[in-house]
Every structure is written in structure tokens, then in C-alpha cells.
Structure 1
Amino acid sequence: MSPLRIASFCSGFGGLEMAVQAVFGGQTVFHADPDPGASKILAHHWPDVPNLGDITALDWCQVAAEHGPVDLAAMGFPCQDLSLAGLGNGLRPGTRSGLWLHCAAGIEALNPRFVVIENVRGLLSAPAHSDLEPCPWCVGDRGDEPVLRALGAVLGDLADLGFDAEWIGLPASHPAVGSCHERWREFILAWRTDADPHDLGRHRGARDDAEAGGRHESADRGDAAAVAERLMFLPTPVASDGDRASLTYSRGNPTLTGAVVNLLPTPLASDGGLNRGSSAGWGLRNTSKTLDAQWVAADGVDYGPAIRRWEAATGRPAPCPTEPGAKGNRRLNPVFSEWMIGAPAGHVTAVPDLSRKDQLRAIGNGVVWRQGAHALRLLHGRAVHNPAHLAAA
């Protein structure tokens, strides 16, 4: 089969595309992201892929005419109005998260066979433009049915456009992913009702992986909860790390900066870098202890097990978590945040002329591609076992 042609909306640093391509292969036809920092990252890694910029300013019919048919549209539209850390304005016209309506317009015009969507857990509870679940006291069906709200609006819009869908929420710390932070995200895989989800599985042999993963889906929440009880996770990298570097807590939750600057032993500016320790990982110069053996914060929280689990999953040792800041203070090292999110080394931090603030914002807004890939395998397994498609297997 020919490679999937992928259209990327609200692209960020390209993490969701990495997840799609890891499972299904494919090539990106265009990006669409107006953020100056994200644009630099996209141009650096994909110089031959056009960035169409602001989706609110696009004539989607013209885009379809100029770039030809696409097989899959991938998008992680802005989460600011859905996230618990935001203002709670929800999925409404005029909000940042209301950009979903422009994404839906793009889907209608491009008419891809498949759609992949990623967003925060607040998608389950934030208010929405749709009358599907219009009020906070009557969301969801009574009984064991889930609350949908903004997610319900997205699924309803997809249904109006002729798509069926499966969705799942899981943390980056899921055992099959192994991240050192929790970062719960919701993922949607949708397909046109006249398309066959098996077609996705014919790329890169993904079908077998997806079906194997799908058999274990029912244990996802239990496994994740068990892991959370055993390990203390580092705070998730967030876009505000670049603006709130001095804060230990944000909205009652510990910040990543607040956690890492209190790790023991604290690296000194005079250390000048890291040496490979003889037995326990990356050691600081001129010290007898290794940093890897001392992932313990000043308050006694031991982050070591989670750090070592992500090192094993990525095959990369954890970088130094802090770097020299103003007045001799230590601050969060963007290279450490990049490692936490699972992006390739230097994918964000080695991009020329990208400020530290833009690096941290791109990382904090990005997708953990390993998490996305696992979610897509599970969702694809569900899709191909949908009764409507069993006959096409």
C-alpha cells in the first residue's frame, strides 16, 4: 500500500505525528501551527513540509485543492480552556479550545478516511458548544455511563461528519509506556463509516500489535492505579514552566521546577557537566555520589524508581535536571523536560534560535509519542473488532 498521507493541525513539535507514524507509518503533507516557537521546530526538522499557520485563517477548500487528498488528519487542538489548570471556559466559540470547530471544518473539507485527536483529561468534563450534554448537573446517562461533555461534543461533530470513533484515556505512566510522570491524556481514533479500519493495520504490520494490545485494554485503569501506588512520579512538564520557573506550587500542584531544584545532591555550576559513574548512572564531577542514586528531593520523596523506569523505556540516561540560572540559582533544564516528554534528544532544545521559554512551552504542550502510540494500538484493536468491520478482516 502507498504510505498514509497525513495532515497535521495544531502540530506543536510534531509528537502526535510521531505516534501515528510509529504505529501506521505515513508521511506528513502539511503542518498547521502559527506559534513562532513551534514553527521553528517544524521548519528545522521538516523543511520540505509546508506550515500553513493559523487554521482560523485557512480556506480549507483551497487547502484541499492545493495539497491533494489526505488519508489521516491528526490534531491536538489547544487545551487551555479544557485543562483543570485553565479557566474552564470549555469548548466554545471564541475560546482557544474552540479551535476544535475550525478543526472540524478542516476535516469536512479534506474528508480524510481517518482522524486522530489528542487532548487533556478535562475533555471529559469541560463544558461545550453542543446541546448533547448541556448542563453540569445532567451530564452523562444515569448509571455507569461516562460523563462526556466536551468529548461528547467532539464525538457528536465527528458523527455528523460521517465518522465512527473509539476513544481512550490513559496516563504516560501506564506500564506499557513507562514515563516518570503521569500526564493523563485522552485519545480518539475515528474513521469514515465507509472506510475500513483494517487498512491502517496494513501499514508497518500494525494490525497484529493493535489486536494484541486490545486484548489487554480492560486492565488499563487498574494497572495504572497499581503503578501509581508503588511509585512517586515527577510533576508533568507544562507549558507554564517557562513563565513560572520560580514557583514551587501552581494552583495547589507541585511544579516540575519546584521538584527538581530540591533533588539531592544539587548540581553546582562548577560541575561543568556529567560523567558516567562506575556503577549507578550519571555522576556529578567532583562528587563521590551519583545523581542517579540520589533522585531524592529535600522533602524525602524518592523519584528514583520512576526515573530509572523511563531510562529503561527510552534507552537514554536522564540528563541533569537543572542548569545555572540567575544569581547563582539553579533552574529547570529544558533538556531534562525534553527527555521526560520522550522527544528525541535535541528535537526541541537543539533547534537554532529557539529561546528557553519557547523550548519549555513547546515541550509542555507536546505529546508523549510513546503514550500516543500505545493508545493508537489499543484503539485500532477496538476498531478492527467492531462488529461492523469483522466481516472485512
Structure 2
Amino acid sequence: MTELRFVDLFCGLGAFHEAFKKRDGFKCVLACDLNDKVRDIYEKNHGLKPLGDIRLIDPSSAPSFEILCAGFPCQSFSIAGLKKGFGDAKNGNLFYEILKFVDSKNPPMVILENVKNLKSHEGGNTYRVIEKSFLDRGYKFSARVLDSAHYGSPQSRQRIFMVATKYREFAFPEKLGAHKSVSSILDRGDPSSWDDSRYYLVEKNTKSKPFKPRIIYN
């Protein structure tokens, strides 16, 4: 069976990698993330040491691959952030680092993930820039906001997924149906084997510190 190779850009702890591990026939050939502690955890979980700053990676030196995955930094587009978008010198322009890999390797499929607010950022202009970037390169482009609660997760987390494909338009999966409860993923085990001391704070740590009132003047 021929393996499909993928790269995991801005890999974090490896959500994309974990998803591919649930299916046979996929192999990660490159990952990268700026956070050194995250890279250590990724290596322990997935057996591959990610590279560091994507801006220091030469895409032409990367192994060949069929799928590019990137959950690129979302602070620039999120409601909680400053919503600077592509104007954010630190995070917003990292999307163009993804395009460098696309231009160098011309992969058949690109999967991008970000906050759902990206589609409405700057009146939709940010999303249109991303879409046009792939259409101009000969890709078909599809996008949809998905909620993790509809796909087997006990957590509700809405994110936009954008998929660019060379040969045919991507069809997003239908909802799986019933939501999964948190209790369904907990490992209850044998209560008699529990070490209660691990789950209780000592009394001195549970007491509140005295409140000191302060008057704030203009």
C-alpha cells in the first residue's frame, strides 16, 4: 500500500497527526512549531521531532508530500485577540509561509484550520485573500465551520476548515449524530485503587488570602 505523505505546519501538540494516525496509509515527513516545549511533547507522542521557526525553513529542502496541513496562528483573527489579521507582523503574515511550501511542492491537497471568526474578519476580505491565493494557483477551494461536538468529541469547539484540492472539490463529512458526553471518556477504573491524597489540597492551600480593600482615585 502506497503511503500518503503529509507535513504538519504550526503543528502544536499534533491534532492533525493524531487524526491521520487513526487511518492506515499516512506518514508525516515534516512538522514545525515555534514552541520548544510543544516540540518535545510532539516528539514523545508521534516519534518525530518538529523543526522550529517556519520562517527559517527552506521549503525546497523539505521532503516531497501529498498533503499539507496547517493550523496557522489564529490570534490575529480571533474575537479574543486584537483582530489585526494580515497586518499583524508577528502572526498574520505567517499564512504566506504556507504558500511558500505550496509553491515549492505543489501538493494535491492543502488543509487549513483556524478560528471561525476568520471568515468574517475585515468584512470577509481576509478569507477572500486566502481563497484567491489558492484559486490563482489552480486549486479548487472549499470551506466550512465545523463543531467538534458533532464529530465524536465531548467538547464543543467551532473552527473553520479550508481545503484546497487539485483534482476535485472536497466534500465535507456529515455530522456523526449523537453528542459524546464527558463521562463517556473518563477512565473510572476501580475506586478501591484510587489514591485520594493525589486529588485533595492540604488545608492551608484551601484558605483564601485576606482581602485588602483599596480605593482607586482618578
- In the superposition, the TM-score normalised over structure 2's length comes to 0.77
- Partners of 1:120 and 1:325 in 2: how far apart? 40
Summarize deviations over 1:77-109 as a string: whole Å, max 9, x none.
001111111011113361313211111111211
Asked if the contact 1:81/1:91 (under 8 Å) is kept, the reply is yes
Residue ranges of structure 2 left out of the alignment (5+ in a row): 190-195, 208-218
> Per the alignment, in what secondary structure is the counterpart of residue 91 of structure 1?
helix
Summarize deviations over 1:289-323 as a string: whole Å, max 9, x none.
xxxxxxxxxxxxxxxxx8x71333x4x34899x87
- Partners of 2:117 and 2:75 in 1: how far apart? 10
- In the superposition, the TM-score normalised over structure 1's length comes to 0.45
Distance 1:327-1:10 versus aligned 2 partners, 3 A rule: farther
Asked if the contact 1:93/1:99 (under 8 Å) is kept, the reply is no
Letter in 2 for 1:108: D
Summarize deviations over 1:47-81 as a string: whole Å, max 9, x none.
4x342211111121222xxx2x1010111000111
Q: Which residue of 1 aligns with 2:97?
A: 102
Residue 111 of structure 2: which of 109, 116, 131 is its match? Answer: 116
> Per the alignment, in what secondary structure is the counterpart of residue 181 of structure 2?
helix
Q: Which residue of 2 aligns with 1:328?
A: 205
Percent identity of paired positions between Structure 1 and Structure 2: 22
Q: Which residue of 2 aligns with 1:186?
A: 160
Given the alignment of the two structures, is residue 310 of structure 1 paired with residue 182 of structure 2, yes or no?
A: yes
> Per the alignment, in what secondary structure is the counterpart of residue 55 of structure 2?
helix
Q: Which residue of 2 aligns with 1:204?
A: none
Summarize deviations over 1:238-281 as a string: whole Å, max 9, x none.
xxxxxxxxxxxxxxxxxxxxxxxxxxxxxxxxxxxxxxxxxxxx
| TM alignment of 1:6-85, pairs within 5 A | 6-22=6-22, 25-47=25-47, 49-63=48-62, 67=63, 69-85=64-80
Residue ranges of structure 1 left out of the alignment (5+ in a row): 128-138, 140-147, 199-209, 228-305, 331-393
> Per the alignment, in what secondary structure is the counterpart of residue 190 of structure 1?
strand
Distance 1:150-1:22 versus aligned 2 partners, 3 A rule: farther
Letter in 2 for 1:2: T
| TM alignment of 1:160-309, pairs within 5 A | 160-174=136-150, 176-179=151-154, 181-192=155-166, 195=167, 214=173, 216=174, 309=181
- Partners of 1:103 and 1:44 in 2: how far apart? 25
What root-mean-square deviation, in Å, do the aligned CA atoms of Structure 1 and Structure 2 show?
3.2
Q: Which protein, 1 or 2, shows the higher relative CO under an 8 Å CA cutoff with sep ≥ 6?
A: 1
